[in-house]
Amino acid sequence: MVLTQHMQVFLCAFFFAETEIGIYDMSNREMINTFTYPGATYVHQGWVSTDFATLYANDENDEECRSGQLDHCSGLNDPKALPITRIFDITDLKNIEAPREFINNKAHPSIDHNMYVRGDYIYSANYEAGARVYKIQEDKSLVEVAYFDVSNDCDNIIDCADPYGGVWTHYPYSDMSTTIASNGYYGLHIFRVRLELHENIFE
């Protein structure tokens, strides 16, 4: 449960400002907190769990930084550059600790972008690694259960003519079994995700 003094307060819950995340109280027009994490480069989107206890966030530049493609953050070089989702405990809005990390080792080196939570699943857009689906575990960690690569143009950030090709967003709110993935090159993709096939795989 989120701090009692912030229950039933109209929040612009989180805003993402490249190297930090802020929490703003829209009712009282005041900042509750700002926070960051080691290696933050361009965090600009995230989503909260359905119980409002956890924030999941993607950083759009950290993979390129770790792959050595951006000069201003060459110190983060990592040839693997696998996509990372940060997992923040937000039960105390004024004291956000360093996040846990979900490193998706099932995806090739790629950039993660927009994500959304619906129920116990996260629907993530990972540009050249396609549309990904993660199952939220009891401890709020993530396990990948499905993906579809809409482009199959490259399998490494360094080799991509445009590492921002592929899936830009992965929208899960049309109905219970259909998601929509969009991108700038291959049009709109509509998927039917059969989540029931994965419910017991990791238990």
What's the whole-model pTM score? 0.85
* Furthest CA-CA distance within the chain: 50
CA atoms within 13 A on the CB side of 140: 21
Q: What is the mean pLDDT of the chain?
A: 81
pLDDT (tens digit, 9 = 90+) per residue, 188-200? 888 888 776 655 3
pLDDT digits (tens, 9 = 90+) for 75-92: 444 556 788 999 999 999
Contacts of 27 (CB under 8 A, 6+ apart): 9, 10, 11
Query: Does residue 6 have a pLDDT over 60?
Result: no
Integer Cα distance of 102 and 56 in angstroms: 10
Q: What is the pLDDT at residue 201?
A: 36
**What pLDDT is stored for residue 3 in this prediction?**
44
Give the percent of the chain with pLDDT over 90. Answer: 32
Average pLDDT over residues 29-45: 87
- CA–CA gap between residue 92 and residue 75 (Å, rounded): 32
- pLDDT tens column, 95-127: 999 999 999 988 888 888 999 999 999 999 998
